[in-house]
Amino acid sequence: MGKWNRFTNKGIVALITAFMVVSSVGTVSSYAAEVNAEVPQVIEKASPSVVAIIGKPTSDADKAWEKNRYNLAHGTGVIVESNGVIVTNAHVVKDMKNIAVVTSDGKTYNGRATNIDEESDLALVKIDAAGLTPAKIAASSSDIKVGETVAAIGTPISFALRNSVTVGIVSGIDRSVNSQYQLIQTDAAINPGNSGGALINMKGEVIGINTMKYADFGVENLGFAIPVDTLKYVLKHFQLYGKVKRPYLGLELEESWEAVVGLPSSTGLRVAYVDPDSPAAKAGLKQDDLLVSIGSSKLKTTVDFNEALKKYLPNETVSLTIQSGSSEVSKSITLGEAHSQETQWTQNSDDDSLDADRGKTKIGDSHYGWSMKYPAGLVKNHQSDDGDVVSFVDAKGEFSLSIRVDNQQSDELSPSALLSKLASDDEDEYDYDYDYSGAPSTILERQYVKREGSPYAKVVGRSGDDGYVQTRGYLHKGSLYTLHLFVNKEHYNNDFKQNSYNDLLDSFQPVFDGKDPSLKDISVYSSGNTTFKNEYGLSFDLPANWEQGGYTSGSSFFSDDYSQMVRVNVTSASSGDTLKAWVDRQRKQFEAVYVPKYRSVKEPEELTLAGVPALKVAYSSSLGSKWMEGYSLFFIKDKYKYEVEFTYPQETDGDEVKELLDTLASSIKVDKDNMDKELGFIQDLDELLDPNRTITYKNEKYKYSLQIPESWSSSKSYSYDNKDQSSKTFFFTGGYLIVQADPKATYESLVKDEDAAQKKSHDSDNEYTFTDSEVNLFDDVKAKQYVVNYESDEVPYKETIYIFRKNNISYTVILRIDEAVQTAANEARLNKAFESMKFLDGGKK
């Protein structure tokens, strides 16, 4: 009975389904046929307006890679004027040089970016052409309907796939994924390279410019396009002003929790920050006000805010509705103009060809003095910072080649010794990042080739089960040039290919002819300066041999011998703060650390940095041995305070200091567009610093507590037992306080040991002096006190040691302060910290 019921149920469902299909098949088939017939006609009509864009990307991180002929970037564009005006995404062409545009009929034109607007991610490219077919732009974004059929035309994945078409529907409108403005969502496939292409409806009209694909595990068919209203807004501003003129209020706004997670929001936008002297500040807007509307536009999200501002121009007056506390008020405000970076276009300095190596048939390094043939398929893979190791790969993946230069070799190395060295080279000497394949596992050939001018040693062998490696070694003028060619097994046994590999190796010469125009120089050796940048938009130049510190969050830079340092500190400028007030605070804090004998601070010197007023302060300090000198450069720009500090030993050559300081100061720049977009308010901790504020340290195991200055740092003694707290050290500049607790040692034994240690130190060095006495501590505690005055490594200091016993625990407390920081305030804080010591009895003080 059960089986019959299941069969019958399935049969009924099948019958009902079949009936529904028969009933609607005419409609479905008719619609599908209509769409299928429509799409080719629409694409045929729209394709002539879509172009492919290719160019050479720039890279601040690796200029050598920028020059690689195979390092190209591509995207898509849409013709908007018949004389060669093309719209695309800003991210496609912002960092692209030597732009080439290919039209749908296969013609290639040189292009140049004329206008770029990163806020909307739109840009214009111009080519010298006439009679092109401009795209038909839809009338309004309001006509776009969810569910309507659309097609995306672009250049996905590879430039060889230009003018590819994908079809889908409009999945949603009014989206705002990673955008300042609303976007169209579509399930038509949008892939890398589609950026800047057309999203068209079945009338052949452009309803959007494809901009991004949401890529994540398990996510499919989630692409986005810039809608036509934003496109028209930007194109109009480009035409009228050459840029997008955006209104400026001077507000940082924060969305409600509901808006952030995508729920309908019932509140406006919270004012998180108001720029001083901005239109918003002048209108009386304050932090924590709620911005409810601009004109007639209600605001729930920052996208609402940006969309509303598109209706206005700078210097226009608008009405804002503000909720301040429990009341709503209207404010009239005259809009300012937001900063907009001007488009700056620079072509490649060599030529305007896409091929960075056009005309180059040889490659080499002018600093290390070598050269060889440069076949078109040879691609530089990596190069060491000093340029002494470089690796290449074949564009088709057939082989890899590495060249290493060792300047510490002797020309007296015999052929036998050289062959032996090549056959047994230690793999650990090489960095696998450079594709070194190691010494061969089985040697197939070994010989010394007496070639005129540049003889070489040659070893050929199997490299595991993967392929073969040929190693050659050339000795020339004190340098050993080692070449490693690794070839896959399948290609090595091809005689024709093997001849081409040998031809490449045979072309190697330990010489570089700088007058040969066909020779490409890949030398990265530089004795000049390197530009360093950080996430706060700051950049500056330092000598090429300087390195960025690895343990200071990227804020410190060091000379090659670590004797000189540049430290960068960036914090937010609090409302009402001034450059002079800030520098005065910093000087007072510095002076409070050292006694006058051990410090010097000069009056601030006015200068200009990054286009704004700045102050330069020279100072020096010492703990008694070596003096360190330095300069601090202070300036405030775009709501942030920048301090660039340069320190060096006092004995450093004055001309060297002046040259480096001049280079640093003249090269300092701040580019707001290079700031991390997620930067917020960064509190200057020095503004909140109270050197006398204390916190409680409590040691339950050894039954004591202390009030320690909050600005001090602390450390436990080294111990295999992380829970051991028998010794605790608290540090400050030029001194420390140590508490050692020992429940096993007696008071008498500790005193006896310390007496012996002090006398031994004095007997060893007459300059070491101490006094000892018995004192009472904490009202009723007998203690032994030692006061030491000594100069260790030219650093004079005072050390006071107390030994006492309380609650069956013996304590040794050491107070040390260097003479250089022995100000009344510092010494008082140290003594007060010790005097705050209280003892716990059963968990109670």
Residue with tokens 């072309």: 507
CB 709 within 8 A of CB 731: no
CB neighbourhood size of 43 (10 A): 17
**Spatial distance between the Cα atoms of 651 and 659, rounded to a whole number of angstroms:** 15
E strand spans, 247-377: 247-248, 251-254, 269-274, 290-294, 297-298, 317-324, 327-334, 336-337, 362-365, 370-373
Clarify whether 91 is annotated catalytic.
yes
CA atoms within 13 A on the CB side of 454: 19
Q: Which long-range contacts (CB under 8 A, 24 or more apart) does 3-7 make?
A: none
**Spatial distance between the Cα atoms of 110 and 89, rounded to a whole number of angstroms:** 18
Closest CA to 250 of 217, 202, 283, 210: 283
Distance (Å) of CA 746 to CA 267, 500, 741, 750, 803: 69, 84, 11, 6, 10
Q: Phi/psi of residue 120, each to 5°?
A: -95, -10
CA atoms within 13 A on the CB side of 843: 0
Clarify whether 426 is annotated catalytic.
no
Task: Check 74, 91, 237, 484 and give the catalytic one.
Answer: 91
Closest CA to 125 of 145, 98, 104, 107: 98
Q: Which residues of 728-762 are buried (b: 16+ CB within 10 A; e: fewer)?
A: bbbebebbbbbbbbbeebebeebbeebeeebeeee
Closest CA to 465 of 449, 498, 483, 442: 442
Task: Check 117, 121, 304, 435 and give the catalytic one.
Answer: 121
**Spatial distance between the Cα atoms of 627 and 600, rounded to a whole number of angstroms:** 11
Residue type, 521: D
**Spatial distance between the Cα atoms of 713 and 732, rounded to a whole number of angstroms:** 7
Clarify whether 841 is annotated catalytic.
no
Which parts of 47-160 fold into alpha helices (H)? 63-66, 90-93
Residue with tokens 């700051």: 538
Task: Check 49, 120, 195, 402 and give the catalytic one.
Answer: 195
Residues with Cβ within 8 Å of 836's Cβ and at least 6 positions away in sequence, in order, are 694, 705, 706, 707
Closest CA to 808 of 696, 704, 697: 704
**Spatial distance between the Cα atoms of 818 and 320, rounded to a whole number of angstroms:** 61
| Tokens standing for residue 185 | 């969502």
CB neighbourhood size of 630 (10 A): 19
Q: What is the DSSP letter of 822?
A: -
Strand partners, 389: 404
Exposure of 17 by Cβ count < 10 A (0-12 exposed, 13-18 middle, 19+ buried)? Answer: exposed
Q: What is the DSSP letter of 605?
A: E
Give me the active site residues, please: 91, 121, 195
